[in-house]
Amino acid sequence: MIVDFSDKNYFSSLLKDGLIRCIFFCEFHHTAGPIISCQVPENFVSKELFDSISVYIITKAELQRSTITVTLEDCKVLGFPIRIDNKKYERNAFHFNLCFVCDSETRTVQYEHVVTKFSDYLMAMEIESRFLSTGKSNEKLTPILKTVLEDLNTKGECALLEGPIATHLKVCRIRSDPTPVLDHQVPVFMKALPPHQWDLTTQQVTPYIDGFNHVARIAALSDVDNNLVKACVQNLVYYGVVALVPLFQYGNIYCATWKLRSLAQDRELQKRCLTYVSRTQRQVPCLRDVFRTYASMSRGTTIRDLCTRFNLANMRINERKLVQFGVLEGLIRRIQKYPILVGEHTELQKTFTGTYSVDEICCATGVTSQQLEDRLERDHIVMLLCK
């Protein structure tokens, strides 16, 4: 049996963002206790189910204004309990909670802020005009909940403009923080920059992102401070507009990864690859040549070696694009060289720790990698580890 390692669904199934199945509004009735007074769609949450979880919905005082999610076998209820203290209410307080119901195997963190904001909106409406507590909340709330449910599920955002107060709800996807951008990395556009009111730095920086300029060079070309460029690129990475690849040099070493197999099988990937790596628009290279070039990338073989071994121009392959595509798709991987000091030398100790790659050192000190490697070859107290 062959296990398919490229199966990404395996992981994404655990982290799927779920749709909202139901929204309900529940309140603490002064005689009946916690009840659902409005629900869209109707009867999604049964009375029995609600009774067993009502303690997490109409909560004790300490848990007011906390986002509470309770996961059951077949659904997940996300709420934000609120209490308004006022003498005019029976029992001197009005408790309510607006809850979203989702499937239990999905992620719901992205709705937490929406629920909080929506609850605050309802609270403001209640304080202004006793919107919720006058008894007819069902008729007034049902259309609102219906729009919110539909709009959030389809468009991911919703505007509530009726009534004295307006509010806007938007589901923001929670992404992990991007790693810090380094001087020697090269940003590449993954998709066209969305037409947007980008900030001034981004407007100034983006024309220089061509897939070959590294960050420090972009900073120099666009006349923008280095740290600002990094912040800008990091922001674009966060939104998935650009990806970072290592700097291209003819002395670089790459190696094939096990994902190279997918190039031989995936027709769609082949098509994209061939158009991406071709020298001219008109004539695309043939797959066997491209595959053979990727397959020949191994530790100890530089791109310069490859160019001399194969006549890449004749094969209509643009080697820079070839490397870029391979790195972006994970077909190949850059082998970095890490100088590490093995003797005693106080000055060099700071630089050659084994954690900084040749690229980083070159970028920081302004020497070419050839010069650095030649120097290191003469010294015997520094070793180059390729990994």
Kindly state the number of chain residues that form the binding site for other proteins, as judged by CB under 8 A.
69
Among 19, 72, 172, 220, the residue binding other proteins under the rule CB under 8 A is: 72
The interface region with other proteins, picked from 25-33, 207-215, 252-260, 370-378 by CB under 8 A, is 252-260
Distance CA(258)–CA(362), nearest Å, equals 30
**x/- site string to other proteins, residues 88 to 117, per CB under 8 A?**
---------------------x--------
Contact positions with other proteins (CB under 8 A) in 180-239: none
- Please state the closest distance from residue 65 (CB atom) to other proteins, in A: 6
Of 73 and 223, which CB lies nearer to other proteins in the complex structure? 73
Distance CA(140)–CA(147), nearest Å, equals 12
The interface region with other proteins, picked from 146-154, 219-227, 292-300, 357-365 by CB under 8 A, is 292-300
- Please state the closest distance from residue 289 (CB atom) to other proteins, in A: 8
Quote the DSSP letter at residue 33. Answer: E
- Please state the closest distance from residue 42 (CB atom) to other proteins, in A: 22
Of 3 and 192, which CB lies nearer to other proteins in the complex structure? 3
- Verify binding: residue 46, other proteins, rule CB under 8 A: no
- Verify binding: residue 12, other proteins, rule CB under 8 A: no
Quote the DSSP letter at residue 91. Answer: G
Q: Which residues have CB under 8 Å from 189's CB, separation 6+?
A: 209, 211, 241, 242
- Please state the closest distance from residue 123 (CB atom) to other proteins, in A: 7
Angle subtended by helix axes 226-238 and 215-222, to nearest 10: 120
Distance CA(73)–CA(75), nearest Å, equals 6
Two tokens at 326?
Answer: 């391979």
Quote the DSSP letter at residue 380. Answer: S
Distances (CA, A) of 263 to 51, 164, 290, 322, 327: 55, 59, 10, 13, 13
**x/- site string to other proteins, residues 257 to 276, per CB under 8 A?**
xx-xx--xx-x--x------
Q: Which residues have CB under 8 Å from 71's CB, separation 6+?
A: 104
3-state secondary structure at position 59: coil
- Verify binding: residue 288, other proteins, rule CB under 8 A: yes
- Please state the closest distance from residue 307 (CB atom) to other proteins, in A: 18
* Burial zone of 128 (CB within 10 Å; 0-12 exposed, 13-18 middle, 19+ buried): exposed
Element of type H or E holding 76: strand 76-79
Of 236 and 332, which CB lies nearer to other proteins in the complex structure? 332
Binding site residues, other proteins, CB under 8 A: 1-3, 5, 10, 14-15, 48-49, 51-53, 55-56, 60, 62-63, 65-73, 109, 120, 123-124, 127, 255-258, 260-261, 264-265, 267, 270, 286-289, 291-292, 294-296, 298-300, 330, 333, 338, 340-342, 349, 352-355, 383-387
